[in-house]
Amino acid sequence: MENKLDRDYQYLLSDILTNGVEKDDRTGTGTISLFGKSIRHDMSKGFPILTSKKVAFNTMIAELKWFLKGETNIRPLLKEGCHIWTGDAYKVYKRAYEYDLDEYLSVEDFENRIIEDEMFAHTWGELGPIYGRQWRKWKIVDGSFTRYVDQIDELIKNIKEDPFSRRLMVNAWNISELHLMTLPPCHYSFQCYVADGKLSLMWNQRSADLFLGVPFNISSYGLLLELLCAETGYEPGELIGNFGDIHLYKNHIKQAEKQLKRSHYKLPKLQLEYNNILDGDFKASLLNYKSHSYIKAPLSN
């Protein structure tokens, strides 16, 4: 069976390398960028994970569980060996200590302190009301009255009760709380669609780091779709990603060129042990995941 996912992903790499425009960016690294691209995957063709380089599947699972449980502190991630949000928390910590002209911890010591010291984690491990908070506890203030909406719970309820609704959506772009977030959402919303007994999912992304971030996003939303199907009884349909500013950081160009030279393998199958999506109570593994090796690249924060 042809692996169209890797082929389409490599086309995006090639398109940016050939047609991308140079842009400065928030991190100071610099990018080559395009605007308005998309990728589609038929879930019946296998689980959506790249094979032209190895993707850290277990790290992706840890982050998705963290989102689904409404977590916003990096401590639970670090306890699972997931380091992808450390840079955002460490940047805030380091800036505060540099301002005070005091000594500060190395990244490794910072992570260890977060794990070992609950009060330190409460102060420096918190990222504000990012993805998980918005997914599970969207804040609505109406005068003196405040209430919260669990968007994931509402989504599941609506898929079950009104599957043909055009309002099967979850949004993380809470404009009233953006200033409280360490990083505003990159993948800011997703929508579900039911037809012919299948559930499809489309996510939208304002900023897409094609080399490091997008492979994670593809697999994460693929797993989320599988979980929603397990909860609602539908078969997985299509997975669609829409990207606004899709870019390669300039220090990822050689890595992208290396990946473009690689072939791809057949997509694996997902093995899912599912209990409850809202508690993050599930186990997932891949059957026959064959891939090329990791390609290391620096993360820009």
What's the CA gap between 85 and 93, in Å, rounded?
13
Candidates 285, 225, 231; CA nearest to 42 is: 225
Annotated catalytic sites, by residue? 186
What's the CA gap between 264 and 165, in Å, rounded?
38
Cα–Cα distances in Å, from 176 out to 131, 152, 184?
14, 20, 11
What's the CA gap between 51 and 151, in Å, rounded?
33
228 token code pair: 């929603």
Contacts of 121 (CB under 8 A, 6+ apart): 73, 74, 75, 113, 114, 115
- Residue entry with tokens 């992570």: 111
